[in-house]
């Protein structure tokens, strides 16, 4: 299973989601060892850069190493990754426009749809233009979404019940 998280520039939310998901999967042990996680951005503005220093700092306080190098989503990502998670509605619209086939569109999911502890949020807001509280909120929401995604993955891996 290959998972890709996508936000606008790949320097705040999607690299945080990548780092959070990777850490959570490692903590869950070998049954999730075959899952790969990556992140990308809709646009090329930050390609080759480390994530925003504020996101790295806030993530480090929670034990996450947010250090992937930014890249733009590529054509082959739509066939390489089993699920592509957009971080907000605008990301989902952009991804839907980039997807060429129904099969590619079927791989798209909104990360916020997996949140269970933050019912007032339908998206993971971009913290880039805000202050520290925005980064903390984004991390809270991403942790929630990752837990929901893991629950979905666990249900896919569970053997059928004996009847």
Q: Is 57 in the active site?
A: no
DSSP labels, 67-91: -PPP-B--TTHHHH-SEEEESSHHH
- Which residue in this structure is represented by tokens 């990548």? 18
Give the DSSP letter of residue 133.
H
SS3 101: coil
Structure token pair of residue 76: 């082959």
Q: Is 126 in the active site?
A: yes
Q: Is 97 in the active site?
A: no
Residue 52 burial (10 A CB sphere; 0-12, 13-18, 19+): buried
Residue 140 zone, left/alpha/beta (φ > 0; ψ -120 to 50; rest): alpha
- The partner residues of 38 in beta bridges, in order of sequence, read 4
Catalytic-role residue among 13, 88, 107, 146: 13
Catalytic-role residue among 52, 77, 88, 126: 126
Do 18 and 68 form a contact (C-beta atoms < 8 A)? yes
Q: Kindly list the catalytic residues.
A: 7, 13, 126
């Amino acid at each position: 299973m290959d998972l890709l998280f996508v936000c606008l520039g790949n320097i705040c939310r999607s690299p945080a989601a990548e780092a959070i998901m990777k850490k959570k999967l490692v903590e869950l042990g070998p049954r999730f060892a075959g899952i790969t996680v990556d992140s990308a951005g809709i646009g090329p503005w930050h390609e080759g850069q480390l994530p925003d220093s504020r996101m790295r700092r806030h993530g480090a306080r929670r034990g996450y190493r947010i250090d992937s190098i930014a890249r733009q989503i590529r054509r082959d990502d739509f066939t390489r990754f089993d699920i592509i998670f957009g971080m907000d509605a605008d990301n989902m619209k952009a991804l839907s426009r980039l997807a060429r086939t129904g099969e590619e569109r079927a791989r798209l999911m909104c990360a916020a749809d997996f949140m269970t502890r933050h019912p007032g949020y339908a998206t993971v807001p971009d913290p880039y233009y805000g202050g520290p509280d925005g980064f903390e909120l984004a991390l809270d929401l991403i942790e929630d979404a990752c837990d929901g995604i893991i629950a979905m993955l666990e249900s896919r891996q569970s053997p059928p019940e004996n009847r």
